[in-house]
Structure 1
Amino acid sequence: MALPHASSGQVVNLGALDIDAAETCALLKAGDMEMMWLVLPAGKQVPSHAVSTSMTLQCMRGTVQVQLDGDMKLLGPGQVMYLAGGVTHGLHALEDARLLMTVVLPASRTD
């Protein structure tokens, strides 16, 4: 589902995305942050990786197992997880899941 990125002040209906979005899509990308709607069918795995900046994962539906440097945490509906920059993590959807991921982007230098 191709969506235009949201603009400043625009309202995005996450409930409609939960129904209509069949695959992961970018909601917005600004100079300082990026927001993604992650669609993870049951059994889907996202291999371990690290993002250089801080991020949050907010579970909107389903249950996801988050692997963190050998530890495992469950993330369920209504829960949010903060990950510091550089933290290695992977995802495994235990059931059909929808997550809202927000990534802080590196500050751009203006000098």
Structure 2
Amino acid sequence: MALQHAKSGEVIHLGALAPERGAAGTAALVKSDRFEAIHLVVPAGSTIPPHHVAGYLTLHCLEGRVTLGPTNIALGAGDWVYLERGDQHSVQGIEDARLLLTILFDTPPTP
């Protein structure tokens, strides 16, 4: 079954972390040819390995704490950061964390 994304005007509640949710709370909220939004759950001690994306991205830490590598940018609840397209980065969970990841594409991403 295909993942259901939010429709224009649809309200989505990004609730607080529940200990039993773990990585299962990660969900793509919207995906179009120019924009993607993901509710990202990063458990403490977990790592998203180094990677890059084709678009400009922002990460807004909603809850918990993470570190972005390789520059060791620390994000806590309420912090927001912007990365240029193609910037290599990783994410390390310091505390169980929830992030809102937004990616903006200049051109549609290649499949």
Cα deviation 1:39-71 (Å, max 9, x = unaligned) = 111101011111121000110110001113xx2
Q: Which runs of 5+ in 1 are unaligned?
A: none
Question: Which residue in the other structure is 1:92 paired with?
Answer: 92
The alpha-carbon deviation at position 21 of structure 1 amounts to 5.6
State the TM-score, normalizing by the size of structure 1: 0.83
Partner AA of 1:25 in structure 2: A
In structure 2, how many angstroms separate the alpha carbons of the residues matched to 1:75 and 1:3?
A: 29
Identity %: 40
Spell out, residue by residue over 1:3-39, the C-alpha distance to the aligned partner (whole angstroms, 9 max, x if none).
62001111111126x4596421111112210111111
Output the amino acid matched with 1:75: L
Residue 42 of structure 1 corresponds to: 44
Tell me which residue corresponds to 2:60.
Answer: 58
- Counterpart CA distance in 1 for 2:96 and 2:58 is 19
Matched, 1:30 2:21: no
Calculate the TM-score normalised by the size of structure 2.
0.83
How large is the RMSD of aligned CA atoms in angstroms? 2.0
Question: How far apart, in 2, do the equivalents of 1:51 and 1:62 lie?
Answer: 24
Q: Which runs of 5+ in 2 are unaligned?
A: none
Structure 2 counterpart SS, 1:101: strand
State the match for 1:10 in structure 2: 10
- Please tell me whether the aligned partners of residues 63 and 96 of structure 1 are also in contact (alpha carbons under 8 angstroms): yes
